[in-house]
Amino acid sequence: MTKLVKSLEKWVSLGFIDKKQADLILRHESSLSQNSWVLVGFLILGIVVISVGIISLIAANWQQIPASIKLFADFSLLIICSLLILRAGNLKRDLQFDILLLFFILLCLASIGLIAQIYNANGEFYQALMLWSSITIVAFAAHRMFVPFIWFGGFLLGAIFTLLNSPLFYPVFQWNLPAVLMATTLFCACLSIAHKNSILTFTKETLHVVNIWFFIMGLISLACLEMEPRPSIPVDVISYSPGCILAIFLIFSILYNNLYRTVQKTILLLTLAVYFLFFYLATFQSIHDIVYAIFTLVILGLMAVFFASCQMRTLFQYLVIIIGIRFIILYFQALGGLAATGVGLIISGMFIIAMTILWHKYRLALAIITERWVR
């Protein structure tokens, strides 16, 4: 609010707005929620610390306390938390509602651990995560994004490890991590495009969460492909079949989408083609490290242009930063030993500073130019 007051004073002094307009703006902003991201962040941190503490207490295995008492306490806590969530919902206390919801879903995870401990239930951590994500869909009742974001992250983590480690999926994925990450990335893309095509309907917050996780999984899948050495055992192309099936769905969804312009559809289809070509070359052919970098930069560049065309400026700017970082890494890869010398490091430092200044000064203009170019 202090920042806003200073900005308003400056605008009044420059004659952009008059005093009356400034007062109206200030009154309006004051009436909105005052919950800053710092407050929310610390509340989340507090809840996560409490939850980790509860899990640690369980992990200490309290043999002194009978199992029935532990379970009674656990379920009492779950029920009390549920009632508090309902109460917060009735009183329209959105922040309290979301914080309690986060605590509730983390408590559910702790409860699964407690039951597994008491009854010596066999099972892997990823199986617990899948069970947890299937029973905590209440996460989508949250008003803010952080609760469904955490849920979606837990679900994806459980799904990735399930696809990798579960004997049920071995005939398909064959412990091929890049194939699993590709399938997961394309799954997130399919969810997003299904909303665009009105096959699925998400709220704005849920769609943001899906898009963010698509972004994260895309980066992870590209990074994994670059870092994981070529498989020492032959990898069957069948491990990529789920990715191919999802890609077919994506292709048709993109082609039959009425909201995207032709240029946007072209960019998306081209990105998909380059993405698949990258995975094929990295897995089944022998390619130079620089080629990995070029493919990554092309894919990131195409997605940046697409985000700009959709006026998703935040994601566009994050991608520009990542492209810049990847260029710096490419520079070190290309120069190798020379970069380790004093001259190399000086040039690298100047390059980093120059890129940072250019990005800071022209990031908005770059976004606008790219949006217009795509239009």
Smallest separation, CB 55 to another protein (Å): 7
- Residues numbered 76 to 105 that lie near another protein (CB under 8 A) are 78-79, 82, 85-86, 89, 104
Range in contact with another protein (rule: CB under 8 A) among 123-131, 184-192, 209-217, 248-256: 123-131
Angle at 252 between CA 250 and CA 256, to 5 degrees: 120
| Residue 225 near residue 279 (C-beta atoms within 8 A) | yes
Range in contact with another protein (rule: CB under 8 A) among 117-125, 214-222, 297-305, 327-335: 117-125
Smallest separation, CB 50 to another protein (Å): 16
Smallest separation, CB 134 to another protein (Å): 8
Tokens of 294: 């070029």
63 near another protein, judged by CB under 8 A: yes
40 near another protein, judged by CB under 8 A: no
In 3D space, the residue among 138, 83, 69 whose CA is nearest the CA of residue 105 turns out to be 138
Output the CA torsion sign for 339, 345, 350, 355: positive
Among 17, 116, 347, 352, binds another protein (CB under 8 A): 116
DSSP states along 276-298: HHHHHHHHHS---HHHHHHHHHH
SS3 state at 18: coil
Smallest separation, CB 136 to another protein (Å): 6
Smallest separation, CB 60 to another protein (Å): 6
Among 16, 42, 72, 170, binds another protein (CB under 8 A): 170
Q: Measured from the CB atom, is 140 or 359 closer to another protein?
A: 140
Query: 101 exposed, middle or buried (CB, 10 Å; 0-12, 13-18, 19+)?
Result: buried
In 3D space, the residue among 124, 114, 113, 216 whose CA is nearest the CA of residue 161 turns out to be 124
Smallest separation, CB 231 to another protein (Å): 19
CA separation, residue 230 to residues 277, 287, 289, 336 (Å)? 15, 10, 12, 21
Tell me the longest C-alpha to C-alpha distance in the chain. 73
Smallest separation, CB 66 to another protein (Å): 14
Q: Measured from the CB atom, is 7 or 134 closer to another protein?
A: 134
Total site size for another protein, rule CB under 8 A: 47
| Residue 282 near residue 178 (C-beta atoms within 8 A) | yes
Among 33, 122, 262, 286, binds another protein (CB under 8 A): 122
Q: Measured from the CB atom, is 168 or 233 closer to another protein?
A: 168
Q: Measured from the CB atom, is 84 or 291 closer to another protein?
A: 84
- Residues numbered 203 to 242 that lie near another protein (CB under 8 A) are 203, 205-206
SS3 state at 68: helix
DSSP states along 301-323: HHHHHHHHHTT-HHHHHHHHHHH
Range in contact with another protein (rule: CB under 8 A) among 12-20, 51-59, 250-258, 338-346: 51-59
Residue 100 CB neighbour total at 10 angstroms: 24
Among 13, 120, 201, 232, binds another protein (CB under 8 A): 120
Smallest separation, CB 335 to another protein (Å): 42
In 3D space, the residue among 173, 189, 162 whose CA is nearest the CA of residue 242 turns out to be 173
- Residues numbered 128 to 167 that lie near another protein (CB under 8 A) are 128, 131, 135-138, 140-143, 167
- H helix runs in the chain, sequence order: 2-14, 19-31, 37-59, 67-90, 94-118, 125-135, 146-165, 170-173, 177-196, 204-227, 241-255, 262-284, 289-309, 313-335, 342-374
Among 25, 48, 71, 310, binds another protein (CB under 8 A): 71
Smallest separation, CB 178 to another protein (Å): 21
CA distance 218 to 299: 10
Catalog residues that contact another protein under the rule CB under 8 A. 55, 58-61, 63, 71, 75, 78-79, 82, 85-86, 89, 104, 108-109, 111-122, 125, 128, 131, 135-138, 140-143, 167-168, 170-171, 203, 205-206
